[in-house]
Amino acid sequence: GNSVTQMEGPVTLSEEAFLTINCTYTATGYPSLFWYVQYPGEGLQLLLKATKADDKGSNKGFEATYRKETTSFHLEKGSVQVSDSAVYFCALTVNTGNQFYFGTGTSLTVIP
Amino acid sequence: DAGITQSPRHKVTETGTPVTLRCHQTENHRYMYWYRQDPGHGLRLIHYSYGVKDTDKGEVSDGYSVSRSKTEDFLLTLESATSSQTSVYFCAISEEVSENTEAFFGQGTRLTVV
């Protein structure tokens, strides 16, 4: 089937620290991969995406590379800010499907 | 921002009462989804729709029904609310499901069943 597994949280980092949030997936078709972010009290919004192997999605200093050989799409940021505190969701769609599949979310808190 | 409105934003109801949540979109997107978000479970799909009067079940559909009589409206009904249905409910829309599209989310409805 189709599923996404992401690292358990919560994650607490100091400002300017390096961030990695792991995400791996299984898919029956050819997946497109997404990272969504949810700020407190809000709905999810797209952070970045990648649609084929070796593509790198990037936005707001965040990056993730579509690794087909390891079925992974890890989220990274070189220097986090307090404003990055949020819940991050890894997700996928498949070219033969009609829905999005989400991981359980990873809560990030950045402290000054 | 995508035009998605969920109503109500907050609701407290008693066990055994019916509850209907509404999702309204102004984007004319084909797909609409209802998710619930719970600690430790992330987002779980309840039902989705791929067109007017075309709906299908998600992974946690028991106790919920949906209707879509117009492109812009997708209703989620709890026929007889239970405490286990206390959650935050999100509506989402997408134009299609492909590499070229994304899901857009509403602001959420916080439902408490007492």
List pLDDT tens digits, range B30-42: 999 999 999 888 8
Cα distance between residue A29 and residue B47, in whole Å: 21
User: Does the structure show a pLDDT above 80 at A80?
Assistant: yes
The strand pair at A75-77 and A101-102 is best described as: unpaired
The strand pair at A11-14 and A106-111 is best described as: parallel
| Nearest Cα to Cα of residue A9 among A73, A83, A75, A79 | A75
| Cβ-contact B49, B68 below 8 angstroms | yes
Q: How many interchain CB pairs under 8 A, A with B? A: 59
Task: Answer whether the bond into residue A10 is a cis peptide, omega within 30°.
Answer: yes
How is residue A67 annotated by DSSP? B
And the tokens for B33? 């989804």
| Cβ-contact B96, B112 below 8 angstroms | no
Higher per-residue pLDDT: A62 or A31: A62
Cα distance between residue B16 and residue A43, in whole Å: 28
Q: How far is the alpha carbon of B57 from chain A, nearest alpha carbon, in Å?
A: 11
- Count of helices and strands (H, E) across chain A: 0, 12
Give the model confidence (pLDDT) of B61-78 as tens digits: 999 999 999 999 999 999
> How far is CA B13 from its chain centroid?
17
Q: Do B106 and A93 touch (CB under 8 A)?
A: no
Cα distance between residue B86 and residue B61, in whole Å: 14
Most confident of A53-67, A98-112, B89-103: A53-67
Q: How far is the alpha carbon of A37 from chain B, nearest alpha carbon, in Å?
A: 11
Rounded to the nearest integer, the mean pLDDT of chain B is 93
Contact map slice: B 44-103 vs A, CB within 8 A: 45, 48, 50, 56, 58, 90, 92, 94, 97-100, 102-103
Q: How confident is the model at residue B42, as a pLDDT? A: 84
The three-class DSSP label of residue A70 is coil
And the tokens for B29? 């997107």
Of chain B, the percentage scoring pLDDT greater than 90 comes to 83
Q: Do A44 and B102 touch (CB under 8 A)?
A: no
Q: How confident is the model at residue B101, as a pLDDT? A: 75
User: Does the structure show a pLDDT above 80 at A72?
Assistant: yes
Q: At B79, give phi and psi (nearest 5°).
A: -65, -40
Rounded to the nearest integer, the mean pLDDT of chain A is 93
And the tokens for A92? 């996928």
Of chain A, the percentage scoring pLDDT greater than 70 comes to 98
Q: Do A43 and B33 touch (CB under 8 A)?
A: no
Q: How confident is the model at residue A33, as a pLDDT? A: 94
